[in-house]
Amino acid sequence: MAYIPALPDSNAPPVRINLLSDTQTRPSAAMREAMARAEVGDEQMGDDPTVNALNERVAALLGKQAAVFLPSGTMCNVTATLSTCRPGDEIIAHRTAHILSREGGAHAAIGGFQITPLDGDDGQFSLDAFRAALHPRSRYQPPQTMVSVEQTANIGGGTIWPQATLDAIAAAGKAAGLVTHMDGARLMNAVVATGIAARDMAAGWDSVWIDFSKGLGAPVGASLAGSRDFIDEVWRWKQRLGGSMRQAGVIAAACNYALDHHVERLAEDHAHARALAAGLAQIAGVEVQEPQTNLVFFSPEGAGLGGEAMVAALRQRGVLLATMDGRIRACTHLDVSRDMIDETIGLVREILRRQ
């Protein structure tokens, strides 16, 4: 399951079109101004007013009692599992989930947890698959402590878990005594695409977080929400892992700005993704997964060119993408225009025509 950002060689031209990830966004001039004006204090001591305001805002947005500001989404996942599970416990997730495939084995290395992978189309497992994975409490098997979903499902193609499925899995998990956790790295993409409020989408889930450094365009930061007792325990692990910060209001201000200005505009990224997919699908031999949000997965192998070769050829033309799970992933974001989408389609067509 390769993830190859295709670092440029010394002869490669500058990147003009960056479709590698929505993490590639840069803070706008207005966001930088908001950061410069931020009121600050010692976040570790609870004295940063901008961080405190962000935490209250995120807790309300996600329908939870409290929230904590963390440096990254990975730390949200790691502190959530560390606050909930004990060494030897079992976590159930999709086989492509970020906690299993993109966090360096942190949950096993730090917490000693076992993550059981479930199969399912488009990065999602079904209620039946989840129920089949459950087992009776027994000293012969690890205690099943948590079920985790990723909204949207990144490697699944940026797909949106249906609300009915989320509710059913959460209910089944709680009936079996499991804690429910939602990796909401791109939750706001799902919210904008469906019109379902974030608090409703996460209603059945004990813990949930949102990332500000992806489509929302902030330079750093994520917020994890849950019960007050849970967030108190997360704070303990945040301290242990070195995630406590000082005058963090500077970066929290960027996150508040993102919530004010960059949520509704995610629809533009989704429109660009649909345009990219439609254009690529018109090229003979290119297989494209229909996008639901801002991720477009495609393969040019039917046209006689492998994914890595296509990524390399595009890089030589100033376009940056990645291969992931055997396909090419293009990610639209606020620094990608419609003209860039059209140019990328044209370059793919040109590269394949020269094969």
**Same domain? 199 vs 290:** no
**Same domain? 129 vs 191:** yes
Q: Which CATH number characterizes residue 51's domain? A: 3.40.640.10
Last residue of a domain, one of 234, 261, 288: 261
- If one compares 53 and 5, the residue with the highest pLDDT of the two is 53
Q: Which residue has the tokens 């699908």?
A: 281
At CB < 8 A and 24+ separation, what contacts does 9-14 make?
A: 12/315, 12/316, 13/316, 13/317, 13/318, 14/318
Q: What is the pTM of this model?
A: 0.96
Number of domains in the chain: 2
Q: Which CATH number characterizes residue 335's domain? A: 3.90.1150.10
The pLDDT value given to residue 2: 42
pLDDT band at 3 (very low <50, low <70, confident <90, very high): very low
How many other β-carbons are positioned within 10 Å of the β-carbon of residue 29? 7
pLDDT over 90 at 6, yes or no? no
**Same domain? 253 vs 275:** no
pLDDT band at 1 (very low <50, low <70, confident <90, very high): very low
**Same domain? 235 vs 277:** no
Last residue of a domain, one of 241, 261, 281: 261
The pLDDT value given to residue 11: 76
Q: What is the extent of the structural domain holding 290?
A: 3-26+265-353
Q: What is the mean pLDDT of residues 171-183?
A: 98
For residue 31, being part of any structural domain is answered with no
**Same domain? 65 vs 204:** yes
Q: Give percent of the chain with pLDDT exceeding 90.
A: 95
pLDDT band at 10 (very low <50, low <70, confident <90, very high): low
**Same domain? 57 vs 148:** yes
Q: Within 13 A of 99's CA, how many CA atoms are on the CB side? A: 33
**Same domain? 348 vs 255:** no
Last residue of a domain, one of 230, 261, 292: 261
Query: pLDDT tens digits, residue range 107-158?
Result: 999 999 999 999 999 999 999 999 999 999 999 999 999 999 999 999 999 9
**Same domain? 172 vs 88:** yes
Q: Within 13 A of 327's CA, how many CA atoms are on the CB side? A: 17
**Same domain? 14 vs 47:** no
For residue 185, being part of any structural domain is answered with yes
pLDDT band at 9 (very low <50, low <70, confident <90, very high): low
**Same domain? 92 vs 162:** yes
Q: In this structure, are residues 304 and 342 in contact, taking their beta carbons and an 8 Å threshold?
A: no
Q: What is the pLDDT of the chain when averaged over all its residues? A: 96
pLDDT band at 34 (very low <50, low <70, confident <90, very high): very high
Tokens describing residue 321: 């993408």
**Same domain? 173 vs 232:** yes
How many other β-carbons are positioned within 10 Å of the β-carbon of residue 260? 12
pLDDT band at 307 (very low <50, low <70, confident <90, very high): very high
